[in-house]
């Protein structure tokens, strides 16, 4: 490490002395650290916390995508329910219109109008005795 152009020998010597102290403390009789998983680490949650801490952004991404998937699915189901309800209303409206048109057609027939006039005693309007004919009107020349 340089401090205004000079090497910091004190820090390098301190690191070397600490390394030497550590080597002196270590014996071959010491237990080798276990690299495997211990049941206490798994049950205590240390292993899970280590995995979660290393993959936190992946976990956040999965949670966001899952939440969006559920929200879109719920909205699609609501839209399907609304569509089926509107289709039922449309069918009801079509049936009502068809029924009204049928009743109007039935009442406006010439035979039904004549029956209604006879029942009401109206004798001033009578059906024509002559068949209908087409009147041809010449078109004006341009």
Q: What are 43's two structure tokens?
A: 């049950």
In this predicted structure, what is the pLDDT of residue 45?
A: 76
Residue of 5 and 123 predicted with greater confidence: 123
In this predicted structure, what is the pLDDT of residue 119?
A: 84
Q: What are 75's two structure tokens?
A: 């909205």
Q: What is the pTM of this model?
A: 0.45
Q: Are 23 and 33 in contact (CB under 8 A)?
A: no
Residue of 142 and 138 predicted with greater confidence: 138
Q: How confident is the model at residue 1 (pLDDT cuts 50, 70, 90)?
A: very low
Q: Are 69 and 79 in contact (CB under 8 A)?
A: no
**pLDDT tens column, 52-91:** 888 889 989 999 999 999 999 999 999 999 999 999 999 9
**pLDDT tens column, 26-51:** 666 556 555 666 777 767 777 777 87
Residue ranges with strand state E in the chain: 2-3, 6-7
């Amino acid at each position: 490490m340089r401090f205004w152009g000079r090497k910091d020998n004190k820090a390098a010597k301190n690191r070397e002395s600490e390394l030497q102290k550590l080597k002196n403390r270590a014996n071959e009789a010491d237990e080798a650290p276990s690299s495997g998983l211990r049941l206490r680490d798994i049950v205590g949650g240390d292993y899970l916390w280590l995995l979660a801490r290393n993959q936190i952004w992946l976990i956040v991404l999965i949670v966001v995508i899952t939440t969006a998937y559920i929200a879109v699915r719920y909205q699609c189901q609501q839209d399907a329910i609304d569509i089926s309800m509107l289709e039922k209303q449309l069918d009801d409206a079509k049936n009502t219109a068809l029924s009204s048109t049928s009743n109007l057609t039935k009442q406006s027939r010439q035979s039904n109008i004549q029956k209604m006039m006879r029942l009401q005693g109206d004798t001033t309007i009578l059906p024509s005795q002559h068949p209908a004919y087409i009147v041809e009107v010449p078109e004006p020349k341009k």
